[in-house]
Amino acid sequence: MAIIVNLDVMMARRKMSLSELSEKVGLTLANLSILKTGKAKAIRFSTLEAICQTLDCQPGDLLEFSKE
């Protein structure tokens, strides 16, 4: 079982670069990159809220559950 992070999909839909999102959310490029590649073990709700607010999306647009 795995949680799939679709951050890159939402960024592409909003035509936003990782560096632009980093500036708007207030996270380092390294931390956003870890989240984007699915290597993160956890995410704070405040971070998730900031990303959702910036990308104008819902948490379910960013996170997906897979049974594989």
CA gap 65, 55 in Å, rounded: 20
CA gap 54, 52 in Å, rounded: 5
Domain interval for residue 44: 2-66
The CATH code of the domain that includes 10 is: 1.10.260.40
55 C-beta neighbours (distance < 10 Å), count = 19
Per-residue pLDDT of the chain (68 residues), as tens digits, is: 599 999 999 999 999 999 999 999 999 999 999 999 989 999 999 999 999 999 999 999 999 999 87
Provide the token pair at 13.
């839909």
- Alpha-helical segments (H) within 4-58: 7-13, 18-25, 29-36, 45-55
The tally of domains found in the chain comes to 1
Tokens 């207030």 belong to residue: 26
pLDDT of res. 68: 78
